[in-house]
Amino acid sequence: MVNKNDRVTFGSKLGVILATVGCAVGLGNIWRFPYMTGANGGAAFLLLYVICILLLGLPVMITEFFIGRHSRRNAAGAFKAMAPGTKWSIIGYNGVLAAFLILGFYSVVAGWTLEYITEAFSSSLSGKSAVEFANDFTAFSSSIVRPVVWTVIFVVLTHFIVVSGVDKGIERASKWMMPVLFLMLVVLCIRSVTLPGAEKGLAFLFKPDFSKIDSSVVLSAMGQAFFSLSIGMGCLITYSSYFGEKTNLQATALQVTILDSLVAILAGVMIFPAVFSFGIEPTAGPELVFITLPNVFNQLPLGNVWSIIFFLLLGLAALTSTISLHEVATAYVHEEYNMTRKRAGAFVSLEILILGVISSLSMGILKEYTVFGLTFFELLDYVTTKIMLPFSGMLICIFVSKRVDKSILKEELTNKGTVPFYFFNTYAFFTKYIAPVAIGLIFLHELGLITLIKNMF
């Protein structure tokens, strides 16, 4: 066991925010958010997503910060420390498992960004029609060697940053990556909204059509909110266990939530005008970003430079997130099994490589092997984002409401009374009632239980 006081902490206030934003902002915002929005009807999905962020996301994030800094342990150890001898640590184990499973599909998509960077360098992303871009993507993602090699490279990259240590690796990397990423995104948005026909894309993103809302759209919006904010998995528990005593937990949660949502919406503004301008289907699915943007770059002067910048940006955003996911699993193995960080990291990387390779191949030669009609890649995504994350988010809220004395909660969240928390009672109410009940109802509805009960009367 690592002594509580020996744990490293993030060096500066800015470092805390940047590292946590780096964890939250990633493929979830730039790849998954546009494709989910496109597949679930546009603005109506965005609206539900924002509601989920505010009603469920923010309270769960503050609660995870509380658990992490209060216990100063990894995701699973935190629950053992705060409720010894109980079954609550299952939340932590669920989180560690989710980290492995998420990395299993996440590193595949992260690998795709590397392919596009090299293609842009060799100028093979220019001079093609929209259909050719789409066909090329399918040919690439379903092939056997290249996507697998990129997945492996991405996992190895993550591995080295994680084992080089939290303070040195993660913080230093996030410090310059996040601001650069943000700037690049703004530039690309400006380009996209000035394309001919851009208004249609903006209308799709911002003018809700409420007839598009059904229970699966609600579940998708909730899953996306959890995934994008990195909550319900102990990721933020692990990160906040490195926060210093003076870190303002509520303010940090609010800043991270706002920045994360802003990046997602900017990604939408970057993608949808282009989707409509180039006549691409918004419902294209996981390839949406990869088949839309090369068209945009293709129409620009210095198109390859644009491609390189964008896919580099996407790769970096993915890297700061894979680091955080890897860290959850590594911190757990390191602290709970008394292994060195290096060995723990290697063990974790090896498992992720196995999952990653299978899920990459499930785009091609293993496509026929499905469970409930989902390929391995889709299954990992579904199980983690739509089930595991919201479910443990719900349990985290119940845990704190039941097991933690309100005065202890308030003391930690106000740094022993030194920073005010004006909405503490609202927060406590949301955590105790609104968030768990809402998540529970969405689950019941998706399982068809509510319809069943209605039909009985």
Residues lying near ligand TRP in the complex (CB under 6 A): 23-24, 26-29, 102, 227-228, 230, 233, 235, 321, 324-325, 389
Closer CB to ligand TRP, 90 or 449, in the complex: 90
Which CA distances in Å does 215 have to 335, 396, 450, 451? 40, 24, 11, 11
Q: Phi and psi for 244 in degrees, rounded to 5?
A: -80, 175
The DSSP call for residue 382 is: I
Cβ nearer to ligand TRP, comparing 23 with 313: 23
Nearest distance, CB of residue 390 and ligand TRP, angstroms:
11
Alpha helices in 122-248 (DSSP H): 130-141, 146-163, 172-193, 198-206, 215-229, 235-240
Signed CA dihedral, 360, 361, 366, 367: sign only: positive
Nearer to ligand TRP, 321 or 401 (CB): 321
| Nearest-CB residue for ligand TRP | 28
> Could you tell me the smallest distance in angstroms from the CB atom of residue 65 to ligand TRP?
14
Minimum CB separation of residue 28 from ligand TRP in Å reads 2
Q: Which of 52, 99, 86 is nearest to 349 (CA)?
A: 99
CB atoms under 10 Å from CB of 456, counted, come to 6
Q: Which residues pair with 371 in a beta bridge?
A: 374
Q: Smallest gap, in angstroms, from Cβ of residue 230 to ligand TRP?
A: 3
- Smallest gap from Cβ 383 to ligand TRP, in A, equals 12
Q: Which is nearer to ligand TRP, 106 or 376 (CB)?
A: 106
Neighbouring C-beta atoms of residue 295, cutoff 10 Å:
23
Q: How far is the CB of 232 from ligand TRP (least distance, A)?
A: 7
Comparing CB distances to ligand TRP, the nearer of 26 and 59 is 26
Shortest approach of ligand TRP to residue 203 CB, angstroms?
26
For ligand TRP, which is the closer residue by CB, 125 or 171? 171
Per-residue 3-state assignment (H helix, E strand, C coil) for 27-59: HHHHHHHHHHHHHCCCHHHHHHHHHHHHHHHHH
DSSP state of 374: B
Toward ligand TRP, which CB reaches closer, 20 or 431?
Answer: 20
